[in-house]
Amino acid sequence: MTTQANPFPGGIHPAYRKDLTSGCESQPMPVPKLLVIPLSQHLGAPAKVLVKKGDAVKAGQLIAEPGGFISAAVHASSSGKVTAIGPVELPNGQMGDAVTIETDGAHEWARMEPISDPLAADPKVLVERVKAAGIVGMGGATFPTHVKLTPPADSPVDWVLLNGAECEPYLTADHRVMVERAERIAQGVKLVRHVMGVSRVSVGIEGNKPDAIEALRRALGDAAEVVELPVKYPQGSEKQLIYAITGRRVPPKKLPSFVGVTVFNVATVAAIADAVIDGTPLVERVVTVTGSGVNRPGNFRVPVGTRVTDLMEFAGGYREDAAQLILGGPMMGRAAASDNVPIIKGVGGVLVLATPDLKDLEYGACIRCGRCLRACPNAQNPMLLGQLIEKGLFSRIDEEKLRELVLDDCFECGSCTFVCPNRRPLVQFFQMAKGYYRSQQKRKG
């Protein structure tokens, strides 16, 4: 089956460096002594904690329930005793409450009942299960999956996409899931088709993962078509992926359901199957540990809540010149000040860069070379936006005007900053302006 993917505008070709780990089968990581499980591992309201200090918990036990419509449940990743509930540093750099569990090493499970013959079950039951399993988008945006499974009645979804692009350099976690769990993904696809009542499912995978394409084609059969995507960053961004596969363009400030599409990460779909077929909630994920600053790059199945410190110890530790710790990929990942942060549901990579790979942070004036304009996958105007924001003009010019330049639609892929010859921190400028407008809106009430 050859489907020609539509090229989105712009895009870049960073050094992918995926060969460091793409052949590394995911190894199970033993449960560490300490688990730090944040209540906010998803987009939306934090979960409401159900346990208290001193409680004994089992693996898979619900420890916090969704705190609102857009929220997700949180489970204990192993058995042990709750030793603390309080604020910790989260991978996104903010502080948030977490349940700290001292594990007992027994890893005693408390799974949910498997749903027998799920394809005959009421879709509502399956959605409830996904909600109860605390499943969120595992590609990084962590949107609660049960909400996505039930699109509003007036935005009917007729095409479901699976995102296996994994366009971030270095990361191979999704790649390994696709190769190792192709059957599980196929089961998940059937469940999603049943729940959403769609007939058309496509999987988009960048052409640099031929083994994943092969494995999924074999496992999926007629359940979904597999589309080989050109290798171009950010191919895995939602709107770019939708255009590549369906030819539909999601307008600025609109969600995919506007064009009748919903996108799930491949690992998310496997997690749906785990929850329905085995009754296992989302308490473990594959994480790529890689970069010039680690001794042994590899892929690991990590219990949610494992501190990066412990993961790194198991994964072989840092090299002596390790200088920067990035949670996620090099394009959109966040540099952490310390490795005392937990792996959460949306973190698919731990990238450690050695001193010589550190980026030069000095930047100069815009020379109007236009590279950012050609790199922007949204065909926006990072050049002008960057200049306005740098000069502080964003607080003086009409907010509507600036939004016309579609600051809202920038998803901070970093392509503009990647190609800027004067190393202007454009993404950071945009984040600044977005923060400013958010605070303005709050003040307005």
Partner 1 sequence: MEPRSFTVAYAPHVHDGSSARRIMWTVFLALVPAAAVSIYAFGLDALRVLALSTALCVAMEWAALLIMKRDPKACLDGSAALTGFLLGLTLPSGLSNGIIVVGAFVAIIVAKQVFGGLGHNPFNPALTSRVFLLIAFPKQLTTWPVPRGLEEIKEYMGLAVTRTTDAVTSATPLGAIKEHAQKAMPNIQLNDLFFGVHTPGSIGEISALALLVGAAFLLYKRIITWHIPVATLVTVAVLGGLTHLANPGKYADPVFHLFAGGLFIGAFFMATDYVTAPVWPLGKIIYGFGIGLLTMVIRLWGGYPEGISFAILLMNAVTPLLDRYTVPTPFGSRAASAKAAPEKAAHEKAAHEKAAPEKAGGES
- Residue 57 vs 372, nearer CB to partner 1: 372
- Residue 59 vs 243, nearer CB to partner 1: 243
Which of 148, 164, 327, 136 minimizes the C-alpha distance to 236?
Answer: 164
Phi, psi (degrees; rounded to nearest 5) at 50: -115, -10
CA dist., res. 112 & res. 344, Å (int): 21
- Residue 281 vs 333, nearer CB to partner 1: 333
- In the complex, minimum distance from the CB of residue 362 to partner 1, in angstroms, rounded to a whole number: 10
- Residue 51 vs 402, nearer CB to partner 1: 402
- In the complex, minimum distance from the CB of residue 323 to partner 1, in angstroms, rounded to a whole number: 5
Which of 331, 345, 336 minimizes the C-alpha distance to 427?
Answer: 331
Which of 303, 288, 312, 395 minimizes the C-alpha distance to 343?
Answer: 303
Q: Residue 303: CB partners within 8 Å, gap ≥ 6?
A: 29, 31, 32, 35, 77, 78, 283, 284, 343
CA dist., res. 380 & res. 375, Å (int): 9
Instruction: State the DSSP code for 75.
Output: E
CA dist., res. 268 & res. 135, Å (int): 7
The number of angstroms, rounded, from the C-alpha of 395 to the middle of its chain's C-alpha atoms is 32
- In the complex, minimum distance from the CB of residue 132 to partner 1, in angstroms, rounded to a whole number: 20
- Residue 301 vs 403, nearer CB to partner 1: 403
- Residue 57 vs 259, nearer CB to partner 1: 259
- In the complex, minimum distance from the CB of residue 377 to partner 1, in angstroms, rounded to a whole number: 7
Phi, psi (degrees; rounded to nearest 5) at 233: -85, 140
CA dist., res. 207 & res. 235, Å (int): 11
The number of angstroms, rounded, from the C-alpha of 4 to the middle of its chain's C-alpha atoms is 26
- In the complex, minimum distance from the CB of residue 301 to partner 1, in angstroms, rounded to a whole number: 19
- In the complex, minimum distance from the CB of residue 97 to partner 1, in angstroms, rounded to a whole number: 19
- Residue 2 vs 94, nearer CB to partner 1: 94
- In the complex, minimum distance from the CB of residue 373 to partner 1, in angstroms, rounded to a whole number: 6
Q: Quote the tokens at residue 219.
A: 């496992």
- Residue 208 vs 240, nearer CB to partner 1: 240
- In the complex, minimum distance from the CB of residue 383 to partner 1, in angstroms, rounded to a whole number: 7
Q: Residue 122: CB partners within 8 Å, gap ≥ 6?
A: none
- Strand pairing partners for 302? 285
- Residue 99 vs 138, nearer CB to partner 1: 138
CA dist., res. 239 & res. 143, Å (int): 15
Q: Residue 375: CB partners within 8 Å, gap ≥ 6?
A: 10, 11, 12, 415, 416, 418, 419
The angle subtended at Cα 177 by Cα 93 and Cα 245, nearest 5°, is 90
- Residue 26 vs 262, nearer CB to partner 1: 262
- In the complex, minimum distance from the CB of residue 45 to partner 1, in angstroms, rounded to a whole number: 9
DSSP for 80-107 reads EEEEEEEEEE-TTSSEEEEEEEEE-S--
Strand, coil or helix: 258: helix
- In the complex, minimum distance from the CB of residue 375 to partner 1, in angstroms, rounded to a whole number: 9
- Residue 318 vs 394, nearer CB to partner 1: 318
- In the complex, minimum distance from the CB of residue 113 to partner 1, in angstroms, rounded to a whole number: 29
The owner of tokens 């800027």 is 420
